[in-house]
Amino acid sequence: MSESKVSLQETSEQGVGRRELLLRSAALFGAGTLLSSSLSAQTAPTDLTLLNFALSLENLEAAFYTQGLAQFSSTDFNNSTFIQNFGSVISGDVYAYLSLIRNHETQHVRSLQALITSLNGTPVKPCTYNFGYKTADDFITVAALLENTGVMAYDGAMSQISSASLKTQAATIATVEARHASYLSLLTGSSPFPASFDTPATSTAILAAAAKFITAC
Amino acid sequence: MTNTETKKSTSRRDWFAGSAALLGAGAITSILARAQTGTGSVTNDINILNFALRLENLESTFYSQGLATFAPRDFQNSVTVQRIGGTKIGANIVPYLSAIGQHEQDHVTKLIQTITALGGTPQPVDCYNFGFKTADDFLQIAQALENTGVQAYDGAIAALQNPNLQTTAATIATVEARHASFLNLLNLSLPFPTPFDTTQTMTQVLATAGQYLTTGCTPKPIQLTYAQAGPTKHAIITTNQSTVKLDASKSTSANGQPLTYLWNQDLGSPLAAIINLTFPQATAILMGGPGEYSIALKVVDSFGNADQDVIKIIYQP
């Protein structure tokens, strides 16, 4: 049921110490504004902080797809173990659908950058990432993890956003991340919709999970 | 992607064209009147939750009707599933549709509980006519309903005032989006057609839903799956007899399907034996002599929704 939750815990506990993860999460944000505000429970994060939190995740996702789609070909995905139980209709579209997901993440990045700038903020820059995949199957597994994490992040942040219009924007991104997550979970052989309610996660938990993939920032 | 774009546009166009075929304007107006009365943030939230409940009831009924109408082989042999090919989807289509139906039922339950806790009255269940004749029809309507669900929640979240309700709505919205993605894929539409989902207002959503509502039947009042082990919930019964008849017939099932019953003796009571312990009418033999006996009842409906009640029997011979 809580597949994505389990994966999230695995990610945050794998090898790297909590302190190290928090330091890397802080690096993700330069000044680490979100981290400090989410660690002191009393201070609610501002919309600008939340937008930069979302942007840091979207930066990571956009880089992930751009790298993977440059590294693997349509044939690699067609030959992956995951795809073997699906017919040609689904297997033939995998590369195109992953490209479409990359386009969505890139558009989320641009839209968030524009919103942050319009609020007189400074958009966080992408970091250097290492996603650790070797095969097309690995890539799909990490993709499913990232998208399910994205859903948890947006669901968790929703009630903290002050502006109603930003809340709607976040909702319309959250449901797109959920569409990606459903498709990618299906490909990995997991349930596309494992629970009646998705699980919201705190920004601290999400940042700790994301930090695993960051090598320099 | 051009290929898939073309495939996609057909079914979506059908859906939006179909939504023009609505019920009479009167029905829609009365739905809106119910949805938009009152002021204040709690009333506002209750109205939005009732709007969501209306959609979730529609979806939940849709899946229970479809899964009762069609056999697993109808789905497996449908044009839709055959066209997708492979072994994975065909083997899982019924479990997937059942899971979606269960999710909608869980959303209904959650919304009823939330509306009731806020002091509101849950919207009664409507009467529906989905008009599907084949499993393929069913899968296309499912696709349309789930995509509308996403637009409805995306449009409503920011209007909710209570932050906890916003979180609940978000965690439902993303599940509807997961369903929509899968059903789009199945129907050869793009699972994620745009970088941002679009929103719909309550008026737009209810106009769309209106095509599946029928008149001329009495709407059923909302009921939860509910356990009642005695003349009232948590009843205390005093008796001078060592044999007590237990009656759970006041229990109700949320989806109208038969309940399963299980009577049990609570730990800590004097020893009792229960006869017919999986039937609504059972008998307790109070073997431990005078004292207070606790007897529990658990009921479960066909969706797995459960409720419990405990009655106390005071045996004074």
| Pick from A38-47, B29-38, B115-124: least confident | B29-38
pLDDT surpasses 50 at A12: no
Say yes or no for a CB contact (<8 Å) between A172 and B89: no
Residue type, A21: L
pLDDT surpasses 60 at B189: yes
Interface A–B counts its CB contacts (< 8 A) at: 174
pLDDT surpasses 90 at A101: yes
Determine the pLDDT at residue B218: 65
Q: Choosing among A148, A163, A182, A185, which should be mutated to test the B contact, i.e. which has the most B CBs within 10 A?
A: A182
pLDDT surpasses 90 at A171: yes
Say yes or no for a CB contact (<8 Å) between B173 and A197: no
Comparing A23 with A99, which gets the higher pLDDT? A99
Determine the pLDDT at residue B25: 33
| Pick from A51-65, A167-181, B159-173, B220-234: least confident | B220-234
For chain B, list the domains and their CATH numbers.
Answer: 3-214 (1.20.1260.10), 225-315 (2.60.40.10)
Partners of B83 on chain A (C-beta within 8 Å) are 89
pLDDT surpasses 90 at B306: no
Give the pLDDT band (50/70/90) at residue B226. confident
Q: What's phi and psi for B248, nearest 5 deg?
A: -105, 20
Give the pLDDT band (50/70/90) at residue B222. low
Determine the pLDDT at residue B220: 60
Query: Which residue of chain A is at minimal alpha-carbon distance from B199?
Result: A172
Over residues A125-147, the pLDDT tens digits come to 999 999 999 999 999 999 999 99
A153 Cβ partners below 8 Å, 6+ apart? Answer: A53, A54, A57, A201, A203, A206
Asked if the C-beta of A61 comes within 8 angstroms of chain B's C-beta atoms, the answer is no
d(CA B145, CA B142): 5
CA A205, B165, B170, A169 torsion: positive or negative?
negative
Q: Choosing among B41, B87, B98, B174, which should be mutated to test the A contact, i.e. which has the most A CBs within 10 A?
A: B174
pLDDT surpasses 60 at A54: yes
pLDDT surpasses 60 at B19: no
Share of chain B above pLDDT 90, in %: 65
Give the pLDDT band (50/70/90) at residue A46. very high
Asked if the C-beta of A156 comes within 8 angstroms of chain B's C-beta atoms, the answer is yes
**Nearest CB partner across the interface for B174, out of A103, A168, A198:** A198
Share of chain B above pLDDT 70, in %: 84
Say yes or no for a CB contact (<8 Å) between A193 and B100: yes
Q: What's the gap in Å between the CA of B78 and the closest CA on chain A?
A: 15
Determine the pLDDT at residue A39: 45
Over residues B146-179, the pLDDT tens digits come to 999 999 999 999 999 999 999 999 999 999 999 9
Over residues B237-255, the pLDDT tens digits come to 999 999 999 999 888 887 6
B199 DSSP 8-state letter: -
**What angle, rounded to 10 degrees, do the helices at B163-186 and B135-156 form?**
150
Residue A159 Cα distances to A112, B88, B165, angstroms: 18, 37, 8
Enter the tokens of residue B29: 């107006």
Determine the pLDDT at residue B254: 72
pLDDT surpasses 70 at A57: yes
- The predicted model scores a pTM of 0.74
